[in-house]
């Protein structure tokens, strides 16, 4: 049992299986963890992430061909988000790519290290075509007892600066710093909040977890598991296989073309996804909200216009921040625009009038908080721009 899992078991966390690994699904009641990530700060064990190192002079050619984003634009201590596609242009999974002076780290919440390495090795079969002269060294870092912690929320930066100082406050989005305790602190985030991944050996992460809990008490920091993401990943959509499987894996249908760099020379699935983009698709993902009383919206509920089916609900959740139900729907392309009324959702409790809504659904509190101007604990500074 890892040092982190021993810590979680000792503190009665509810454990679950994510990406083939055992990590907490919850520590507190769902409303407590949700409130923390949207208003203060939430600390989560993200060691379900696979971590693969690809090192060597020709690592760039291999990693860049794997990813739909252009890895050539990042340098040492920078990172980026990317989809990884199948040959048919569908989404296989998503990754963060972190650049070092020796190569890259690939991090994924939904792809195993074994699968990533297998895909990389299959690409090496055409090394000549990719102009790979020296085979990169590929290793699964999670099998070497690496893991990750995620600290996110409007004041995550201020909590983390208690340990790592002012450098955290000035850390740009999608950049990381190497900390004195041997970790990498990567500023990222999929849920619209300030977010920081701490990556490294699990023994060191366990020590950092304890430090964060101690210094985070005055920030009302809470510990959490990954179940809170079931709500926040609808409020702020990102790739999540658990949401989209059975509905679509097309980045064009899911309106994730922003994560595809079409002008790259080549990458896995490029020809197919270009064809989807050029030819158009019959349906697209949109946000949708009820305009009257609603007892609930569920996956597979039908979306209709004038009694005719025009789409299907992919995922519906109750949003505490909006105090209403919200949903993601795949609808016919001619209806896939924001702020269009005239829809009905056929729910288990009856017909609910609805309109489309732009995503994300929230104007996150983090957007009103500036690390240079605000503070949760410094009474001489306002807490936010409000």
Mean pLDDT on 355-374: 96
**Alpha carbons 107 and 97: distance in angstroms, whole number:** 6
The CATH code of the domain that includes 371 is: 2.40.30.110
Task: Specify whether the CB–CB gap between 45 and 4 falls below 8 A.
Answer: yes
pTM assigned to the model: 0.97
Instruction: Count other C-beta atoms under 10 Å from residue 184's C-beta.
Output: 18
Return the pLDDT at 142.
Answer: 86
Query: What sign does the dihedral 16-237-65-72 (CA atoms) show?
Result: negative
Q: Rounded to 5 degrees, what are φ and ψ at 287?
A: -85, 150
pLDDT above 70: percentage of residues in the chain: 100
Q: What is the per-residue pLDDT across 157-173, written as a single tens digit (0 to 9) for each?
A: 999 999 999 999 999 99
Q: How many domains does the chain have?
A: 2
**pLDDT at residue 319 in the model:** 98
Do residues 82 and 30 both lie within one domain? yes
**Does residue 107 sit in the same domain as residue 188?**
yes
Whether residue 225 is found in the same domain as residue 131: yes
pLDDT at 143: 86
Within a domain: residue 382?
no
Q: Are residues 202 and 63 in the same domain?
A: yes
pLDDT in the model for residue 2:
84
Instruction: Tell me the C-alpha distance between 30 and 27, whole Å.
Output: 9
* Residue where a domain stops, chosen among 257, 280, 303: 280
Mean pLDDT of 221-247: 97
Predicted confidence (pLDDT) per residue in 112-136, tens digit = 999 999 999 999 999 999 999 999 9
Beta strand 324-332 with 21-26 is unpaired
The string of pLDDT tens digits covering residues 53-81 is: 999 999 999 999 999 999 999 999 999 99
Kindly report the average pLDDT of the chain as a whole number.
Answer: 97
Domain boundary among 231, 248, 280: 280
pLDDT at 330 (0 to 100): 98
């Amino acid at each position: 049992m890892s040092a982190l899992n021993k810590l979680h078991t000792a503190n009665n966390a509810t454990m679950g299986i994510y990406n083939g690994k055992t990590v907490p699904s919850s520590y507190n009641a769902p409303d407590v963890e949700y409130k923390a990530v949207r208003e203060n700060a939430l600390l989560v064990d993200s060691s379900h992430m696979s971590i693969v190192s690809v090192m060597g002079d020709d690592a760039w050619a291999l990693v860049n061909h794997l990813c739909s984003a252009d890895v050539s634009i990042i340098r040492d201590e920078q990172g980026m988000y990317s989809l990884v596609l199948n040959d048919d242009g569908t989404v296989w999974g998503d990754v963060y790519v972190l650049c070092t002076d020796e190569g890259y780290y690939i991090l994924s919440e939904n792809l195993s290290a074994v699968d990533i390495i297998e895909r990389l090795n299959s690409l090496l079969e055409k090394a000549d075509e990719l102009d790979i002269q020296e085979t990169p060294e590929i290793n699964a870092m999670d099998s070497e007892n690496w893991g990750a912690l995620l600290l996110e929320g409007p004041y995550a930066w201020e909590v983390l600066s208690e340990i790592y100082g002012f450098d955290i406050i000035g850390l740009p989005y999608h950049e990381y710093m190497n900390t004195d305790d041997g970790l990498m602190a990567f500023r990222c985030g999929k849920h619209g909040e300030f977010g920081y991944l701490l990556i490294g050996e699990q023994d060191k992460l366990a020590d950092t977890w304890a430090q964060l809990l101690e210094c985070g008490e005055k920030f009302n920091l809470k510990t959490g598991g990954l179940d809170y993401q079931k709500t926040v990943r609808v409020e702020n959509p990102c790739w999540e296989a658990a949401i989209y499987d059975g509905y679509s894996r097309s980045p064009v249908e899911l309106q994730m073309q922003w994560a595809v760099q079409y002008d790259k020379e080549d990458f896995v699935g490029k020809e197919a996804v270009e064809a989807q983009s050029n030819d158009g698709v019959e349906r697209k993902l949109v946000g949708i909200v009820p305009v009257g009383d609603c007892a609930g919206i569920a996956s597979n509920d039908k979306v209709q216009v004038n009694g005719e089916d025009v789409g299907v609900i992919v995922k519906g959740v109750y949003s505490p921040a909006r105090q209403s139900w919200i949903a993601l729907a795949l609808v016919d392309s001619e209806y896939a625009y924001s702020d269009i009324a005239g829809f009905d959702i056929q729910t288990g409790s009856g017909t609910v009038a609805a309109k489309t809504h732009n995503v994300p659904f929230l104007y996150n509190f983090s957007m009103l908080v500036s690390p240079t101007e605000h503070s949760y604990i410094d009474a001489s500074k306002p807490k936010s721009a409000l």
